[in-house]
Structure formats: C-alpha cells, structure tokens
Chain A
Amino acid sequence: DAKTTQPNSMESNEEEPVHLPCNHSTISGTDYIHWYRQLPSQGPEYVIHGLTSNVNNRMASLAIAEDRKSSTLILHRATLRDAAVYYCILRESGNTGKLIFGQGTTLQVKP
C-alpha cells in the first residue's frame, strides 16, 4: 500500500494562506491523491483530490508536482474553523479502492 509523509504539525495566522505539504514517493500511476480533514470529535470530511493536474474547489487548491511524488494542499485564507488534522492519502484504483490513512498534519490557526 502506498504511503504518504506529512509534517506532524503546522501553525498559521488567521486570514493568511497555508501550504500543507505531502510526500508520496512510492505513488503508482493510477493512484489518486486525496486530502481529508478531521475536526475535533468528528468523522473525516473530504477536502479535495487529484490525479495529475492541479485542482481547485471552494475549500482549497491542490498543487501536484510534475513527477507526482509530492503535493501541497493550499488553504487560501485560513480561518479558525480550519483548525483540524489534515490527511493526505493515496487511493488505489481498481478492485480494492482502499484509503490508507497516515498520521496527518495538525493545523493550528492563531487569531
């Protein structure tokens, strides 16, 4: 199963951009890069995903390196509600479709 590596924690100031990095050097050609976040005492919620090209949605942007061995989740203006654990996950295509979670990055947002 492909693995990802993320920093344990990061801090940001409110209303500033946040760049959350993720390394996935063993990614295979058919693995999608997913980001989920988990607020305290809640289940994970989907943030964004991509395969090769950069992606934008109302929550965030995903920048994927050309060799796909790393990616960065970008929150354009952090708010206090963005304080959460962010997980970068590779989802296998094909029969299993497993999501294998790592430790994630705990994001603190300071007012």
Chain B
Amino acid sequence: NAGVTQTPKFQVLKTGQSMTLQCAQDMNHEYMSWYRQDPGMGLRLIHYSVGAGITDQGEVPNGYNVSRSTTEDFPLRLLSAAPSQTSVYFCASSPRSAGGDTQYFGPGTRLTVL
C-alpha cells in the first residue's frame, strides 16, 4: 500500500511550457485534491474531485486544469507555465468528502518556472 504518490519530485520549466503533475492513490479513495504551497505560506486549494468524472475549483484554480477519469489518478495540468506558479504542489486523498474523513497527503512536487 503506497498511499498517495506524486511524480515528478522536482521539475524546472521555462515560461510558457506546459506539463502535467501526476498524482495516484491506491486506497480506493473517492475524494482527491491539489494544493500549492508558496514559501512561508499555508496550503491553498487549487482543484478537488469528489469522485471519478467530477471536479471543481478551489481557491486558486486559474492556470490549472484537472480531470478525473479513474478513481486512482488525479493529474494536474499547467497550461502555460508562469513564474508565479513556482511552488510546491501537494496532492491529497480521503475516503469521501465527509467532514470526519482524514486526508492523506503525498510528498509533493517542487516546481520552478524560469
């Protein structure tokens, strides 16, 4: 049971490039989410999904797309990278969207946009 896995661990992009951050969980969780964390700040919610085929926006969705075609995977796409998207990105999952459910976080992807 690997929990929540994220790839890559580190990535450097040039402005305007696109890429996909991968997130997978093997716990059969319905709920998955993406956060970004800027230096010295708390986490901010980008997008979330309450189940396969269902996604919604969080606090800071601009510049990012998501899709959820399977229960296991929740990729985050940067359409045209900007320096303001330099951050650490965390993926998380929980059994459902219930208030009492615990979220499990991945180890993060550190992204630098030049």
Contacts and interface: CB of A to CB of B under 8 A. Distances in A.
Contacts of A97: 31, 48, 50, 94, 96-99, 101
B86 interface: no
A99 interface: yes
B22 interface: no
B100 A95 contact: no
Interface residues of B, number: 29
B8 interface: no
Nearest to B59: A100
Given A96-B48, A101-B42, A102-B42, A46 B104 contact: yes
Interface string B5-26: 0000000000000000000000
Given A43-B105, A101-B44, A103-B42, A91 B99 contact: yes
Given A99-B33, A100-B59, A92 B99 contact: yes
Interface of B: 31, 33, 35, 41-45, 48, 50, 56, 58-59, 90, 92, 94, 96-108
